[in-house]
Amino acid sequence: MAVEGGMKCVKILLYVFLLAFCACAVGLIAVGVAAQYVLSQTISQEATPGSVLLVVIIAVGAFLFLVAIVGCCGACKENNCLMITFVIFLSLIMLVEVAAAIAGYVFRDKVMSEFNKDFRQQMKNYPKQNHTGVSILDGMQENFKCCGAANYTDWGNIPLEPKGRVPDSCCINVTQGCGINFKVKDIYTEGCVEKIGIWLRSNVLVVAAAALGIAFVEVLGIIFACCLVKSIRSGYEVM
Protein backbone atom coordinates (compact mmCIF):
# COMPACT_ATOMS: atom_id res chain seq x y z
CA MET A 1 0.00 0.00 0.00
CA ALA A 2 1.20 3.49 -0.86
CA VAL A 3 0.36 4.94 2.54
CA GLU A 4 1.99 2.03 4.35
CA GLY A 5 5.13 2.41 2.26
CA GLY A 6 5.16 6.13 2.93
CA MET A 7 4.89 5.57 6.66
CA LYS A 8 7.72 3.07 6.51
CA CYS A 9 9.93 5.77 5.01
CA VAL A 10 8.80 8.23 7.68
CA LYS A 11 9.61 5.73 10.41
CA ILE A 12 13.06 5.05 8.97
CA LEU A 13 13.74 8.78 8.67
CA LEU A 14 12.58 9.23 12.25
CA TYR A 15 15.10 6.61 13.39
CA VAL A 16 17.82 8.51 11.51
CA PHE A 17 16.81 11.75 13.20
CA LEU A 18 16.74 10.06 16.60
CA LEU A 19 20.33 8.93 16.07
CA ALA A 20 21.16 12.49 15.05
CA PHE A 21 19.47 13.77 18.23
CA CYS A 22 21.61 11.43 20.33
CA ALA A 23 24.74 12.71 18.57
CA CYS A 24 23.61 16.32 19.03
CA ALA A 25 22.88 15.66 22.70
CA VAL A 26 26.36 14.26 23.28
CA GLY A 27 27.80 17.21 21.33
CA LEU A 28 25.90 19.76 23.42
CA ILE A 29 27.05 18.13 26.64
CA ALA A 30 30.67 17.99 25.44
CA VAL A 31 30.68 21.61 24.25
CA GLY A 32 28.96 22.82 27.40
CA VAL A 33 31.34 20.96 29.73
CA ALA A 34 34.42 22.11 27.79
CA ALA A 35 33.25 25.72 27.69
CA GLN A 36 32.31 25.60 31.38
CA TYR A 37 35.80 24.35 32.22
CA VAL A 38 37.44 27.14 30.22
CA LEU A 39 35.09 29.72 31.73
CA SER A 40 35.87 28.47 35.24
CA GLN A 41 39.56 29.11 34.53
CA THR A 42 38.96 32.68 33.41
CA ILE A 43 35.95 33.91 35.39
CA SER A 44 35.19 33.60 39.09
CA GLN A 45 32.94 30.81 40.37
CA GLU A 46 30.06 33.23 40.98
CA ALA A 47 27.01 32.79 38.75
CA THR A 48 27.28 34.88 35.58
CA PRO A 49 25.09 34.99 32.45
CA GLY A 50 27.76 33.01 30.60
CA SER A 51 28.05 30.25 33.19
CA VAL A 52 24.26 29.97 33.62
CA LEU A 53 23.86 29.68 29.85
CA LEU A 54 26.38 26.84 29.71
CA VAL A 55 24.60 24.97 32.51
CA VAL A 56 21.37 25.30 30.52
CA ILE A 57 23.10 23.91 27.42
CA ILE A 58 24.45 20.90 29.36
CA ALA A 59 21.02 20.25 30.89
CA VAL A 60 19.32 20.51 27.50
CA GLY A 61 21.85 18.06 26.04
CA ALA A 62 21.19 15.50 28.78
CA PHE A 63 17.42 15.92 28.49
CA LEU A 64 17.56 15.66 24.69
CA PHE A 65 19.37 12.33 25.01
CA LEU A 66 16.62 10.96 27.29
CA VAL A 67 13.89 12.29 25.00
CA ALA A 68 15.57 10.62 22.00
CA ILE A 69 15.45 7.29 23.86
CA VAL A 70 11.72 7.84 24.55
CA GLY A 71 11.17 8.58 20.86
CA CYS A 72 13.09 5.49 19.83
CA CYS A 73 10.98 3.28 22.13
CA GLY A 74 7.79 4.93 20.91
CA ALA A 75 8.67 4.45 17.24
CA CYS A 76 9.83 0.86 17.77
CA LYS A 77 6.70 -0.18 19.68
CA GLU A 78 4.44 2.19 17.71
CA ASN A 79 3.16 3.49 21.02
CA ASN A 80 0.93 6.52 20.55
CA CYS A 81 1.42 7.80 24.13
CA LEU A 82 5.23 7.64 23.95
CA MET A 83 5.28 9.37 20.56
CA ILE A 84 3.07 12.22 21.79
CA THR A 85 5.30 12.57 24.86
CA PHE A 86 8.31 12.66 22.54
CA VAL A 87 6.76 15.42 20.41
CA ILE A 88 5.83 17.55 23.45
CA PHE A 89 9.23 17.27 25.13
CA LEU A 90 11.11 17.81 21.87
CA SER A 91 9.06 20.96 21.25
CA LEU A 92 9.96 22.25 24.73
CA ILE A 93 13.65 21.50 24.16
CA MET A 94 13.56 23.36 20.86
CA LEU A 95 12.07 26.43 22.54
CA VAL A 96 14.73 26.32 25.29
CA GLU A 97 17.52 26.02 22.70
CA VAL A 98 16.21 29.00 20.74
CA ALA A 99 16.01 30.99 24.00
CA ALA A 100 19.56 29.91 24.91
CA ALA A 101 20.83 30.95 21.48
CA ILE A 102 19.21 34.38 21.83
CA ALA A 103 20.59 34.73 25.38
CA GLY A 104 24.06 33.79 24.13
CA TYR A 105 23.92 36.60 21.59
CA VAL A 106 22.45 39.16 24.00
CA PHE A 107 24.92 38.44 26.82
CA ARG A 108 28.09 38.12 24.70
CA ASP A 109 29.27 41.56 25.83
CA LYS A 110 28.31 40.81 29.44
CA VAL A 111 30.63 37.79 29.38
CA MET A 112 33.53 40.01 28.32
CA SER A 113 32.68 42.56 31.01
CA GLU A 114 32.70 39.86 33.70
CA PHE A 115 35.99 38.50 32.40
CA ASN A 116 37.58 41.97 32.44
CA LYS A 117 36.58 42.48 36.07
CA ASP A 118 37.73 39.05 37.22
CA PHE A 119 41.00 39.13 35.32
CA ARG A 120 41.99 42.42 36.94
CA GLN A 121 41.04 41.00 40.35
CA GLN A 122 43.24 37.98 39.71
CA MET A 123 46.10 40.33 38.82
CA LYS A 124 45.67 42.14 42.15
CA ASN A 125 45.72 38.82 43.99
CA TYR A 126 48.66 37.48 41.98
CA PRO A 127 51.42 38.26 44.55
CA LYS A 128 49.55 36.47 47.35
CA GLN A 129 47.89 33.67 45.38
CA ASN A 130 48.73 30.01 45.85
CA HIS A 131 50.37 27.96 43.12
CA THR A 132 47.02 27.03 41.50
CA GLY A 133 45.86 30.65 41.18
CA VAL A 134 49.20 31.74 39.78
CA SER A 135 49.24 28.85 37.31
CA ILE A 136 45.80 29.78 35.96
CA LEU A 137 46.80 33.38 35.23
CA ASP A 138 50.20 32.38 33.87
CA GLY A 139 48.54 29.73 31.71
CA MET A 140 46.18 32.29 30.19
CA GLN A 141 49.03 34.68 29.39
CA GLU A 142 51.14 31.94 27.84
CA ASN A 143 48.35 30.31 25.85
CA PHE A 144 46.88 33.53 24.49
CA LYS A 145 50.26 35.26 24.08
CA CYS A 146 49.26 38.32 26.08
CA CYS A 147 50.34 40.26 29.14
CA GLY A 148 48.24 42.21 31.63
CA ALA A 149 44.61 43.24 31.27
CA ALA A 150 44.76 46.11 28.75
CA ASN A 151 48.51 45.73 28.08
CA TYR A 152 51.76 44.81 29.84
CA THR A 153 51.97 48.15 31.70
CA ASP A 154 49.10 47.02 33.96
CA TRP A 155 51.62 44.92 35.88
CA GLY A 156 53.33 48.15 36.94
CA ASN A 157 50.46 48.73 39.37
CA ILE A 158 50.90 45.30 40.98
CA PRO A 159 53.41 45.00 43.86
CA LEU A 160 55.62 42.27 42.39
CA GLU A 161 59.14 41.60 43.63
CA PRO A 162 61.46 42.99 42.43
CA LYS A 163 59.59 46.17 41.53
CA GLY A 164 58.95 46.86 37.86
CA ARG A 165 58.96 43.24 36.74
CA VAL A 166 56.25 41.27 34.93
CA PRO A 167 55.39 37.59 35.39
CA ASP A 168 57.66 35.25 33.46
CA SER A 169 54.58 34.09 31.55
CA CYS A 170 54.61 37.42 29.71
CA CYS A 171 57.90 36.52 28.03
CA ILE A 172 57.90 35.35 24.43
CA ASN A 173 60.48 32.74 25.41
CA VAL A 174 59.61 31.76 28.97
CA THR A 175 62.61 31.17 31.25
CA GLN A 176 63.10 31.54 34.99
CA GLY A 177 63.39 35.25 35.85
CA CYS A 178 62.87 36.47 32.27
CA GLY A 179 60.29 38.99 33.53
CA ILE A 180 62.93 40.83 35.60
CA ASN A 181 64.56 43.79 33.85
CA PHE A 182 62.73 42.80 30.69
CA LYS A 183 62.94 44.45 27.30
CA VAL A 184 59.64 45.28 25.62
CA LYS A 185 60.64 43.39 22.48
CA ASP A 186 61.06 40.21 24.53
CA ILE A 187 57.54 40.14 26.04
CA TYR A 188 53.97 40.09 24.80
CA THR A 189 52.60 43.62 24.92
CA GLU A 190 48.92 43.03 24.04
CA GLY A 191 46.38 42.77 26.86
CA CYS A 192 44.63 39.53 27.69
CA VAL A 193 41.14 40.96 28.24
CA GLU A 194 40.65 41.88 24.59
CA LYS A 195 42.27 38.74 23.17
CA ILE A 196 40.54 36.27 25.46
CA GLY A 197 37.31 38.28 25.43
CA ILE A 198 37.11 38.02 21.65
CA TRP A 199 37.72 34.27 21.91
CA LEU A 200 34.99 33.89 24.55
CA ARG A 201 32.45 35.88 22.56
CA SER A 202 33.19 34.00 19.35
CA ASN A 203 32.69 30.67 21.13
CA VAL A 204 29.43 31.83 22.68
CA LEU A 205 28.23 32.71 19.17
CA VAL A 206 29.33 29.29 17.88
CA VAL A 207 27.32 27.57 20.61
CA ALA A 208 24.32 29.81 19.85
CA ALA A 209 24.55 29.03 16.13
CA ALA A 210 24.83 25.30 16.86
CA ALA A 211 21.72 25.48 19.08
CA LEU A 212 19.74 27.13 16.27
CA GLY A 213 20.97 24.50 13.79
CA ILE A 214 19.93 21.67 16.10
CA ALA A 215 16.55 23.34 16.62
CA PHE A 216 15.97 23.25 12.85
CA VAL A 217 16.73 19.51 12.77
CA GLU A 218 14.36 19.03 15.71
CA VAL A 219 11.54 20.71 13.76
CA LEU A 220 11.92 18.04 11.09
CA GLY A 221 11.93 15.37 13.79
CA ILE A 222 8.70 16.76 15.24
CA ILE A 223 7.07 16.73 11.81
CA PHE A 224 8.02 13.09 11.17
CA ALA A 225 6.91 12.10 14.67
CA CYS A 226 3.53 13.77 14.14
CA CYS A 227 3.13 11.88 10.86
CA LEU A 228 3.85 8.62 12.66
CA VAL A 229 1.38 9.48 15.43
CA LYS A 230 -1.28 10.16 12.81
CA SER A 231 -0.52 6.82 11.16
CA ILE A 232 -0.72 4.95 14.48
CA ARG A 233 -4.04 6.60 15.30
CA SER A 234 -5.41 5.70 11.88
CA GLY A 235 -4.62 2.06 12.56
CA TYR A 236 -2.10 1.55 9.77
CA GLU A 237 0.52 -1.12 10.24
CA VAL A 238 3.97 0.40 10.07
CA MET A 239 6.77 -2.01 9.32
Q: Are 97 and 60 in contact (CB under 8 A)?
A: yes
- Is the pLDDT reported for residue 177 higher than 80? yes
pLDDT confidence tier of residue 93, bands split at 50, 70 and 90: confident
pLDDT digits (tens, 9 = 90+) for 17-30: 888 888 888 887 88
Whether pLDDT at 4 is above 70: no
Mapped onto helix, strand or coil, the DSSP state of residue 192 is helix
Condensed to tens digits (0 to 9), the pLDDT of residues 115-174 reads 788 888 889 888 887 665 577 888 889 989 999 999 999 999 898 888 889 999 999 999
**What is the 8-class DSSP label of residue 152?**
G
Q: Residue 170: helix, strand or coil by DSSP?
A: helix
Would you list the DSSP string of 101-128?
Answer: HHHHHHTHHHHHHHHHHHHHHHHHHGGG
Gap between the Cα atoms of 224 and 174, Å rounded:
58
| Listed residue (85, 41, 38) closest to 66, CA to CA | 85
Residue 187: phi, psi to the nearest 5?
A: -125, 165
DSSP state, residue 164: T
Average pLDDT over residues 32-56: 66
Which sequence spans correspond to the domains of the chain?
6-125+139-151+190-237
Q: What's this model's pTM, rounded to 2 decimal places?
A: 0.60
